[in-house]
Amino acid sequence: MENHDKIIITQDDFQKISSLVKTARPEIAEPLEEELSRAQVVPNDELPKDVVSMNSQVVFQDLDTKKESVVTLVFPQDAKVEENKISVLAPIGSALIGLKVGQTIQWPLPNGKHRNLVVVSIKRQG
């Protein structure tokens, strides 16, 4: 993972995601743990409007393909790929949590490749 900027995450999201990481497979848990380790944890009502949180609908762009996607970031039990509801434990979900609009990240994928993403906008914050 190539991004050393702080991410911002709410207290509730931090606690819930930390619990999930304990039961996730190592290839999922390790990058997400690294993300959480650089997080600035804020009270739920102090999250800036331009930060991706759980249940946010996010527009992001793959910088390599220039393709834009819209997803809603959810907990694993609510994930429905056909509805573009992506789990925070999925590689893209792990990459997006806590990022600000305009922030970029290079995220490792299970196949050994990387995705270079930028958050374009947040349509609805969770």
- CA distance linking residue 62 with residue 52, whole number of Å: 16
Instruction: Grade residue 2 by pLDDT with cuts at 50, 70 and 90.
Output: very low
Instruction: Grade residue 126 by pLDDT with cuts at 50, 70 and 90.
Output: low
The sign of the CA dihedral 66, 106, 74, 41 is: negative
Query: Which range is least confidently modeled, 21-25, 50-54, 78-82?
Result: 21-25
For the stretch 76-116, pLDDT in tens is: 999 999 999 999 998 889 889 999 999 998 877 667 788 88
In a 10 Å sphere around its CB, with 0-12 CB exposed, 13-18 middle and 19+ buried, how is residue 9 labelled? buried
Please indicate whether residue 30 or residue 84 has the higher confidence score (pLDDT): 84
| Mean pLDDT along residues 25-37 | 85
| Mean pLDDT along residues 5-17 | 93
State whether residue 60 is helix, strand or coil.
strand
pLDDT at 62 over 50: yes
Average pLDDT along the chain: 89
pLDDT at 44 over 90: yes
